[in-house]
Chain A
Amino acid sequence: MQQQSNRFFYNVDWVTILIYVALCAIGFMNIYATEYNPDIAIPLSKAKYIKQLTFIGSGLLIGFVILLLDAKFFSVFAPIIYGTTVFLLLIVLVVGRNVGGNQAWIAIGSFRLQPSEFAKFGTALLLARYISSFNVKLTTLKPILICAAIIVLPMCLIMLQPDAGSMLVFLSFMFPLYREGLSGNLLIIFWGMVLLFILNLYFAPSILISSILILGALFIYYNRKKQQKIISISIITIIAIGYLFVAKFLFNNVLQQHQRTRIELILGLTKDNKGAGYNVIQSQTAIGAGQVTGRGFLQGTQTKFKFVPEQSTDFIFSTVGEEWGFVGCFVVIALFIFLLLRIINIAERQRSSFSRVYGYCIACIIFFHVFINIGMAIGIMPVIGIPLPFISYGGSSLWSFTILLFIFLKLDSNRMGFI
């Protein structure tokens, strides 16, 4: 038994690895397509697709190394890994390279590292470790606050870079907590607040306040016999109104101008086809141009001729859309959904709650990336610049997702043992 578990691929879920390889291959092909130009040869040393190939290769290497490690390693070293990633997030604020307005990169030789990518699995590991520890129940306040602290610390550090996109990714940890017992009401309250925040931008405060008051009055009227409820409804109403002002303040004073613009664009509050809206318009145009079956591999004109900015990273999905059409998009989304449902099913078969929580964490992180990334490419989500897992160009993000996934595969291969 001991011997077997030390072998490379013992009990490893091959289906997941196959999907992983398929998604990496799709990424490689589309990065190749964005650069492809029959007339201008790009030197191989500068070609992104060559670099991506090395990222995929080294990613697989990292994955195998992870499979070599003892499954207990991650549980035991979770606090240290978390601590290291938080430390890197601090370091980057001091020595980081500023790229595109965000101080998010640490340069090591010719490589650039994005600590926020690695903070994801650090946080996931520590969260899993904490929740799986004895006697932690997410129905009481203290564990919830501790979990919140684990999540919010890296968020705050990332916000200082400032990189809102990567920061928002950490919101996806809410769902593993929900799976582990966090009240659904808290989630509803949270997303209710998000909704109010958005409505706050659409409507004048007077309209919102009066409608909240009317709503509150209606609830009180229907619960007029229950004093306890009347009090709590009154408190919620007052908090909601207070929140409106806080949200307004946050929006106007805390968010950066370009983030405000993006949010306003996505909500249709402003129209700007050549400025910040340009990315989305061009991306939509490219995807729309694909129609049912796409223009064909290397035949995309929008994506090849640099109409879409951030082509190989944030907007790689527009290449998929243009060259492979609806069919290609469907295949990519289906692969992701299949992967995620499988991860959750695998997570549920774990004996150890550490593995299960960790599985939920990575499923939710990956899903958050997929939904936001594709959503912004087709214009239903604000452009917050997060990569499409396994497909977007970039070493940090590919390694980070590879590590996330392969740690889970290692944990799963050891599902019979104890962690």
Chain B
Amino acid sequence: MDQLFNRKYIIQGLFVLLALILLGKLFYIQIATDKYFVNANSNALRKIYVYPARGVILDRNNKVLAQNQPTYDLLVTPKLVKPFDTLSLCQIIGVDMPTFREKLRKATVRSRYQASIFQKLLSVQTYAALQEKMANYQGFDVQKRTIRYYPDSIASQFLGYMREVTQTDLEKYEGYYKSGDYIGKAGIEKEYEVDLRGTKGVTHMLYNARNVAQGRYADGKLDSMAISGDQLTSTIDSRIQKLGEELLANKVGSVVAIEPNTGEILAFVSSPGYDPNKLVGSNFSNNYRDIFANPNRAFVVRPIQGGYSPGSAFKPLDALIALSEGVVDPNTTFNCPGYYIAGNRRFKCEHVDGNTALRWGISRSCNTYFYNIFAKMMTKNGFSNTKQQAAYEAWQNKVRKFGIGDTLGIDFPGEKAYKLYRAKDYSKIYGKYWGNTTIMSVAIGQGEISTTPLQMANIMAIIANKGYYIKPHVVKAIGSGRKIDPKYKEKHYVGIDAKYFDPVIDGMQDAVNTATGTATESRLRDIIMCGKTGTVQNSRGKNHSVFIGFAPRDNPKIAIAVIIENGGYGGSYAAPIASFITEKYLTDSLSGRLINGATLQKYKDANLLPVPKTIKPIKPTSKTDSLKADSIKKAAPKGKTNVAVNNFNKEAIKPKNNATAKQ
């Protein structure tokens, strides 16, 4: 039997070998892969999320700008669906049968056991109709959640909007969001998403194979309560925000108002706007498309994304630097014969101002005066190109201190820097040989300089503060007692002594408050407004109307910049609009006065929207000064535009004689 005895080992060996096969497979499914582990958790363990209320957004006077309203989602758990009257359900939720079947099929593919969203954002009415018959629809369920509601329908671009998270968002925010969640996508809703959203609550529930809840996992030790989002108190004053939006109706432009001593933004108007409530709820896609189709680009946040040459509004800054450098004093005069000769070029001035000193120069917006002081600044160390270029470099550094040429760092997404050339940028264009005459237009805020309305308003805040600014910001308080970022409390000094500001402010006061001033349209009854108009040359159509200013002169409360595209002279639209807004802000009322013989209502009604002359293929113009960075997908009037003809424009507002000839 020796030979047969060996068979024992064959049989024992077989046992061990097959046992090792079992262990090998066990090793694979238990240790080598976590596929089964993950499946097991999705089998039995389910996270039930409780959505917190999103933080409310208030204006500076605690008036509600954004709040929440209830909406309802219809959920379906395919496994639990029993045959029912599908047609009635289709009618209630407003889908047709094929769509219904397709949705049910998709839900089944997602999961037979887990509830998924069948129809989103049902209205309260639909919900009410549905609720009566819910018992008939087994496997369907309604989940309440909240969406935004903007009571005043104002400040659309300021508040922004929310939409469903994208794949990118899901990856970016490390698992907080899940598919179907909403996230702030623009404006305050985006910038303060983390504060506003709060924290989702989560309940870990165990489910058995029949999808019946079996209680909390680990006795609820991992569960958490939903924490409501923080309330945001914005710096906006909804009274002037609303007035600003009304005044800019049917116009393209922007209003930015800043409280100078805090940097808080009081008004943030971008026109055209839209009703923020349109980007809420089930019509989001259609409305989004419509708004996007607006040829004047309603989604552009003009206060921080619109780029405009400041034009004459740049002159006070010019003067400040000249004074601080000592190339002129307030009494230095230049003769203005109506033009300025630089080299062999002759620059026009709009009027003959005679012997012009600083105060007169600003109030009359005399180009010749500013060409002269610019030339003096550029040549103060000598006339050689190198010396002039060095002088320019030093000069533009001082301009930069005013927040031009770079972003200001507002707590708002999408801010643009726009441009201010450095010496080397000019050298790229002109080579080695350029001097003050080459770049003379910068002296009057034209040419290679452009700013956002926010930057312009900020310059006014600097002048109002006589030498410093606080980074403009839109939120003054988060939640109860949480401080905002300390960087929005810091004073940024521009490096110019306070004493140089008075003569400039005098000039701006005269521009508004003397009969010969260029900004008399902005004059207020009992308040001294200081300001400066600008008429910005626009290569694509009628000039842009610009006004910047602050009020009152002593202890200023508001610094403002108004830009009305294609508005013509600064005094035509920008100055009156600034005047109304400032009056409303400072006195909380409107006196009903006429400006240029027109009522407030006339200004609101004025239509300055560009209308396309002809629609033909447009050659991209490489040298434009505004908004060229934003792409636009339709045959918008990029080339020639014409201002809409309306009687009001022709007749009602005729700038007074003394204001007609100004730059």
Contact = CB atoms under 8 A, between A and B. Distances in A.
Interface of A: 37-39, 175, 178-181, 274, 282, 284-292, 301-302, 304-307, 321-322, 325-326, 329-330, 333, 336-337, 340-341, 344, 348, 360, 363-364, 367, 371, 374-375, 378-380
Interface string B261-300: 0000000000000000000000000000000000000000
A225 B15 CA distance: 40
A329 B36 contact: no
A367 B10 CA distance: 14
Nearest to B215: A39
B12 A305 contact: no
Interface string B21-36: 1110111011101111
Interface stretch (B38-46, B96-104, B125-133, B469-477): B38-46
Interface stretch (B80-88, B201-209, B336-344, B388-396): B201-209
A329 B210 contact: no
A344 B9 CA distance: 9
Contact of B40 (A38, A302, A344): A302
Contacts of A289: 36-37, 39-41
A301 B21 contact: no
A371 B209 CA distance: 27
Contacts of A287: 26, 29-30, 36
Contact of B31 (A284, A291, A305, A333): A291
Contacts of A285: 36, 39-40, 43
Given A287-B26, A291-B34, A179 B41 contact: no
Contacts of B172: none
Given A321-B30, A333-B22, A305 B214 contact: yes
Contact of B209 (A179, A307, A337): A307
Given A288-B37, A378-B29, 15 more contacts: A38-B215, A39-B214, A181-B4, A284-B36, A289-B36, A291-B30, A291-B31, A301-B217, A302-B43, A322-B40, A333-B23, A337-B19, A344-B12, A367-B15, A380-B25
Contacts of A344: 8, 11-12
Nearest to B26: A329
Nearest to A364: B11
Contact of A306 (B36, B41, B208): B208
B16 interface: yes
B135 interface: no
Interface residues of B, number: 41
B5 interface: yes
A326 B214 contact: no
A344 B7 CA distance: 11
B210 A288 contact: no
Interface string B502-514: 0000000000000
A288 to B, nearest CB: 2
Contact of B22 (A180, A181, A322, A371): A371
Nearest to A175: B11
Contacts, number: 124
A288 B7 contact: no
A375 B18 CA distance: 10
A336 B16 CA distance: 10
Nearest to A367: B15
A284 B29 contact: yes
Interface of A is mostly: helix
A73 B313 CA distance: 119
Contacts of B37: 288-289, 291
Contacts of B4: 179-181
A326 B215 contact: no
Contacts of A322: 40
Nearest to A292: B31
Contacts of B44: 301-302, 305, 307
Given A287-B30, A307-B208, A380-B21, A337 B16 contact: yes
B40 A306 contact: no
Nearest to B33: A288
B29 A337 contact: no
B31 A326 contact: yes
B35 A288 contact: yes
Given A179-B4, A301-B44, A337-B16, A288 B22 contact: no
A378 B214 contact: no
A30 B22 CA distance: 20
A341 B22 CA distance: 17
Contacts of B27: 326
A329 B23 contact: yes
Contact of B11 (A179, A290, A330, A379): A179
B5 A348 contact: yes
Contacts of B209: 282, 305-307
Contacts of B26: 287, 321, 326, 329-330, 378
Contacts of A341: 12, 15-16
B206 A301 contact: yes
B22 A340 contact: no
Nearest to B14: A175
Contacts of A175: 11, 14
A307 B43 contact: yes
Contacts of A306: 208-210
8 contacts: A288-B34, A288-B36, A305-B208, A306-B210, A326-B31, A333-B23, A337-B16, A344-B12
A325 B34 CA distance: 13
Contacts of B18: 367, 371
A185 to B, nearest CB: 13
A388 to B, nearest CB: 12
A361 B25 CA distance: 27
Nearest to B7: A179
B8 A179 contact: yes
A327 B22 CA distance: 13
A371 B39 CA distance: 25
Nearest to B214: A305
A291 B31 CA distance: 5
B217 to A, nearest CB: 8
A133 to B, nearest CB: 16
A321 B26 CA distance: 9
A288 B30 contact: yes
Contacts of B22: 333, 371, 374-375, 378, 380
A37 B206 CA distance: 12
B424 to A, nearest CB: 63
A348 B8 contact: yes
A371 B45 CA distance: 31
